[in-house]
Chain A
Amino acid sequence: MTELSVHRGISVHRIGAMILRYWYLLQSSWPRLLELLYWPALQVITWGFIQYYIAENASFFARAGGTLIGAVILWDILFRGQLGFSISFLEEMWARNLGNLMMSPLRPIEFLLSLTVMSLIRLAIGVIPMTLLALFLFHFNVYALGLPLIAFFCNLIFTSWSVGIFVSGLVLRHGLGAESIVWTLMFAIMPLACIYYPVSVLPVWLQYVAWALPPTYVFEGMRALLIENTFRIDLMLEALVINAVLLVASFWAFLALLRSAKKHGSLLSSGE
């Protein structure tokens, strides 16, 4: 039997048990809940006022109303989606509970699926109030984007899961000494994903790198929608294909890092 075949036979009950575990944890700590709301709210308020100021002083941005605040909301979906995934994973490391889970019938794929569900739950708690703030304070209704919003959301959340799976594997292999990667890796993507400016701003050689990242397609698509009222479905499909490749690659990397952790005995000493 190969290692991959061990991941056959996914149990919904075991995934449910893990979601329940993280739900109990969220309920037990109001600072954890507050933190989920705090940073997205701070982001949208800051960038909302910046957008107001720029719109009053620059005719292009007045015309392209909402590109900044829309970008902030979409960026938060990407960033908070990955954090929601990774923090649930880190909770196991901080609690020294990983050994219990690895010794239980829980399979790696079930563990990862429970983390994806938790990333959605944590994202909803943080981002839905953020979008309501944007609506009431700055009259920017992200839901008015309609169906394209679903395409944007799916592509961003898939990327966030790929990054989450990969960095979880790194922490599994290298212990909590690698924890800072969880908080910083997404920021390395930030300038290349062209969140606040078009890809054409980048040097030509860097544009190739940018187009290798699915979020770049989403932010270009958002600008096309808000400025030109055009939904670029071609961009969304291209992003979806790259996301599929990234998800498979990150899962493969996670299994390889798990195997390496078992080879090096890292699961017994998952501290710093």
Chain B
Amino acid sequence: MTGNDKASSRPTVADRGAIAAIAVAHLVKVYKQTRAVDDISFSLPRGSITGLLGGNGAGKTTTIAMIMGLVLPTSGRVQVLGHRMPEESAAVLGRMNFESPYVDMPMRLTVRQNLTIFGKLYAVKNLSDRIAELADDLDLTDFIDRANGKLSAGQKTRVALAKALINRPELLLLDEPTASLDPDTADWVRGHLERYRRDNNATILLASHNMLEVERLCDRVIIMKRGRIEDDDTPEAIMARYNRTTLEEVFLDVARGRVNGAKEAAR
């Protein structure tokens, strides 16, 4: 995809007014004395790819977990595909999926067995055809009858991605989707995610520490720090605002508290 293609496929500001894939309003999560997420609000239009950036403990994983309904908010609202989470989760869980380093696929089961079980849980029609299609798309054929525990890190990531795509989700939540992958496999995964979004008009929210990945994939970036949203815009606009040429430099400015200085310099 060229830069122009990417720009033309981005949702416009007007699009953002349409029914959102995710709408988060004044979301707060407090664990004992810690405010892991502190009054954040954002709305993601359908068909967008948004990167959630931030250092360790910034609140990215907690935010994604609240969107998925795995963590209950202390206060605030989450709507997914027009339904309130977690109260109406039964209406949307079949239309979304996720991949995270915090979960694994059962190790003793083969790739085919794992995909069969998740396909049945998601009531996927023509399941064997869908598994064959994913095996072909994600290059799983050579090890589809091997136990998941005997796969390399790259192969496991592709299997986890196949599980995340088994139900052709309208909304895909990814937490560090290319962590621990070699550059070639990571690039391949990114290419696949781009194609999936384009072909299915899917919405993707990904948390990542890989700034190049976010620059390449995302049409919008939300930067979090200490549970709050520090910035929220297109990657280009954010880099311009901080007078930086890469998101990595912006990330370092935010992480090291050089935000005001950088913004001043840009002015």
Q: Enumerate chain A interface residues (CB-CB to B < 8 A).
A: 1-3, 6, 9, 11, 13-14, 16-18, 20-21, 24-25, 28-29, 91, 95-107, 259, 262-265, 267-269
- B109-A105 in contact (CB<8A): no
Size band of the interface chain B makes with A: 35 or more
Q: How long is the Cα–Cα vector from A3 to B85 in the complex, in angstroms?
A: 11
Most buried by A among B71, B106, B147: B106
Q: Does B252 contact A (CB under 8 A)?
A: no
> B147 — nearest CB in chain A belongs to which residue?
A28
Comparing B94-102, B213-221, B256-264, the segment that makes contact with chain A is B94-102
| Residues from chain B with Cβ under 8 Å of A25 in the complex | 106, 108-109
> Provided the pairs A268-B61, A268-B65 are in contact, do residues A103 and B97 lie with their beta carbons within 8 angstroms?
yes
Q: Within 8 Å CB of A106, what residues of B?
A: 121
Given contacts A25-B106, A264-B31, contact A104 B118 (CB under 8 A): yes
A14 — nearest CB in chain B belongs to which residue? B121
Can you list 30 A-B contacts with CB-CB less than 8 angstroms, sorted by A residue number?
A: A3-B86, A3-B87, A6-B89, A13-B123, A14-B121, A17-B117, A17-B121, A18-B117, A18-B121, A21-B109, A21-B117, A24-B117, A25-B108, A28-B147, A91-B106, A98-B103, A99-B70, A100-B105, A100-B163, A103-B69, A103-B93, A105-B121, A105-B122, A105-B123, A263-B72, A265-B29, A265-B71, A267-B70, A268-B62, A268-B102
Query: Assuming A95-B106, A97-B104, A99-B102, is B122 touching A24 (CB within 8 A)?
Result: no
B120 within 8 A of A: yes
Q: A28-B147, A103-B68 are in contact. Are A14 and B103 (CB under 8 A)?
A: no
Contact across chains for B72 and A259 when beta carbons are under 8 A apart: yes
Give B167-181 interface residues, CB cut-off 8 Å to A. Answer: none
Which chain A residue shows the least CB distance to B148?
Answer: A95
Q: Mark B196-229, 1 if CB is under 8 A from A, else 0.
A: 0000000000000000000000000000000000
